[in-house]
């Protein structure tokens, strides 16, 4: 059993610090360049979808099932078979789906942008409603927060728990403050903690009675089929269904995409929502574009065929990702377990592990790691305005590097945690 750092004497800490410092210098000398900053699939994962490059050739029939020539203009909401495929991923009826372009982030941005300048379902645009607000369960996804920040929307931090956001706070804000227009959610294998919302959390979302008519839950179901294990999977209640049952069918926009199923940047994205919301969105989007890339929609359907094809693909992704997650978690346990200087999550899916350092250490750890050539997501990025009030949260993205590099990167990271933690303990 290792001794917690807090129980070490000043002399022990100083001596350990010196030893760790020498180790750090050795790593620095190796001219390392490793990246654990972004949730990018690895090359091996990208290779899984190369068969998609063979599904079309110059003699292919590029009509979709209703006879539409996918090569030409038109079809604002997506071809029927793509709707079915994305609906199966999003766990909603195909009628509730609208297909978009290559990026669900872009769809979320545009949804905020439309609400801001044009308004939701006949309500005044947010830009004419004074200072509007968004709830931001944190730690959360930095790119979500950047969007609301861009539009000058006031962001309110809601603490995350292992079963979802603090719902007492969510209800308090949403049900009473008409300036609160939305909340960012990654309900399954959340970014960065890998937490999944409990049934009670989902039901409390569905039961919200927003003070604002134009309040919407932004339900980013980015990791719906992104399990690491066959036998241990998080499942969450389907939010559209729950909202319908609760009598609030219009309060949620659900987003999904194939970015981490096929190719990031060349996938297909979608919104799932009530028919009234869809009609509102389609009316607006038909001014924005004549249609999204139907050939890419058809390419995805011809390659994956259906939900079973997607699930088979996700098992292959899991086979590549699982050893990386296990290695990082095992290595953190080995290096830091029992030292009392950090905690980390052990997710069953998604793309991230979340690390909690001693208060006031996250920025310094990330800076130290960068010094040794290991790039992490900037500390603070997982909170609104990039400010983590306790400076404790660090997002670890194990997906991209090959496992050997990841092992080195994790060792260096753990070393930096130790050094910065000792410095902090010596300060006090």
Residues linked to residue 344 through DSSP beta bridges, in sequence order: 355
Using CB atoms within 10 A of its CB, is residue 40 exposed (0-12), middle (13-18) or buried (19+)?
middle
Count the neighbouring beta carbons within 10 Å of the beta carbon of residue 128.
11
Nearer Cβ to its own copies (32/44): 44
Nearer Cβ to its own copies (29/265): 265
- 240-278 CB burial, b ≥16 within 10 A, e <16: bbbbbebebbbbbbbbbbbbbbbbbebbbbbbbbbeebb
Shortest Cβ 206–its own copies spacing (Å): 29
Shortest Cβ 130–its own copies spacing (Å): 13
- Residues forming contacts to its own copies in the complex (CB under 8 A) are 38, 40-41, 43, 46, 49-51, 53-54, 56-60, 69-75, 101-103, 105-106, 109-110, 113, 116-118, 125, 127-128, 143, 146-147, 150-151, 259, 263-266, 284, 287-296
**Tokens standing for 45?**
């994962």
Nearer Cβ to its own copies (259/392): 259
CA dist 273 and 296 (Å) reads 22
Q: What are phi and psi of 237, to 5 degrees?
A: -65, 150
Nearer Cβ to its own copies (106/175): 106
**Tokens standing for 215?**
């309040």
Shortest Cβ 48–its own copies spacing (Å): 11
Shortest Cβ 107–its own copies spacing (Å): 9
Dihedral over alpha carbons 26, 28, 29, 33 (to 10 degrees): 130
Shortest Cβ 262–its own copies spacing (Å): 9
CA dist 297 and 292 (Å) reads 9
Using CB atoms within 10 A of its CB, is residue 303 exposed (0-12), middle (13-18) or buried (19+)?
buried
Nearer Cβ to its own copies (1/50): 50
Shortest Cβ 102–its own copies spacing (Å): 5
Sheet holding 252-257, edge to edge: 97-99, 269-272, 252-257, 216-220, 180-185, 133-138, 154-161, 164-165
Nearer Cβ to its own copies (79/236): 79
In three-state secondary structure terms, 93 is coil
Shortest Cβ 264–its own copies spacing (Å): 4
Nearer Cβ to its own copies (75/183): 75
CA dist 389 and 423 (Å) reads 20
Nearer Cβ to its own copies (291/347): 291
Shortest Cβ 284–its own copies spacing (Å): 7
Nearer Cβ to its own copies (17/284): 284
Q: What are the DSSP E strand ranges found in 162-251? A: 164-165, 180-185, 216-220
CB 188 within 8 A of CB 197: yes
Shortest Cβ 83–its own copies spacing (Å): 16
């Amino acid at each position: 059993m290792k001794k917690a750092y807090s129980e070490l004497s000043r002399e022990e800490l100083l001596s350990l610090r010196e030893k760790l410092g020498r180790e750090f210098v050795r790593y620095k000398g190796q001219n390392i360049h490793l990246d654990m900053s972004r949730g990018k699939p690895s090359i091996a994962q990208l290779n899984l979808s190369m068969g998609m490059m063979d599904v079309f050739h110059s003699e292919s029939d590029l009509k979709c099932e209703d006879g539409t020539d996918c090569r030409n203009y038109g079809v604002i909401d997506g071809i029927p078979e793509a709707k079915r495929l994305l609906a199966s991923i999003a766990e909603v009826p195909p009628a509730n789906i609208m297909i978009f372009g290559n990026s669900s982030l872009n769809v979320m941005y545009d949804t905020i942008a439309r609400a801001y300048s044009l308004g939701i379902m006949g309500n005044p645009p947010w830009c004419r409603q004074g200072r509007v607000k968004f709830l931001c369960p944190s730690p959360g996804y930095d790119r979500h927060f950047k969007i609301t920040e861009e539009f000058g929307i006031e962001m309110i931090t809601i603490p995350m728990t292992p079963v979802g956001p603090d719902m007492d706070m969510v209800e308090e804000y949403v049900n009473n403050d008409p300036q609160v227009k939305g909340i960012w959610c990654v309900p399954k294998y959340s970014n960065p903690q890998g937490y999944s919302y409990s049934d009670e959390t989902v039901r409390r979302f569905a039961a919200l009675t927003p003070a604002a008519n134009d309040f919407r839950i932004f339900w980013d179901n980015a990791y719906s089929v992104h399990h690491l294990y066959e036998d241990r999977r998080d499942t969450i209640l389907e939010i559209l269904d729950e909202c319908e049952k609760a009598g609030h069918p219009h309060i949620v926009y659900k987003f999904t995409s194939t970015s981490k199923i096929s190719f990031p940047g060349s996938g297909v994205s979608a919104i799932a929502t009530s028919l009234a919301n869809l009609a509102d969105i389609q009316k607006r989007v038909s001014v924005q574009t004549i249609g999204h890339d139907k050939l890419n929609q058809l390419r995805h359907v011809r390659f994956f065929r259906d939900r079973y094809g997607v699930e088979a693909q996700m098992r292959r992704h899991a086979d590549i990702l699982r050893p990386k997650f296990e290695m990082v978690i095992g290595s953190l346990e080995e290096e830091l377990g029992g030292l009392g200087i950090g905690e980390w999550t052990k997710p069953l899916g998604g793309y991230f592990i979340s690390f909690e350092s001693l208060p006031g250490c996250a920025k310094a750890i990330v800076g130290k790691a960068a010094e040794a050539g290991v790039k992490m997501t900037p500390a603070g990025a997982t909170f609104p305005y990039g400010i983590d009030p306790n400076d404790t949260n660090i997002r670890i993205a194990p997906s991209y590097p090959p496992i050997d590099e990841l092992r080195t990167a994790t060792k260096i990271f753990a070393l930096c945690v130790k050094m910065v933690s000792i410095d902090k303990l010596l300060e006090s």
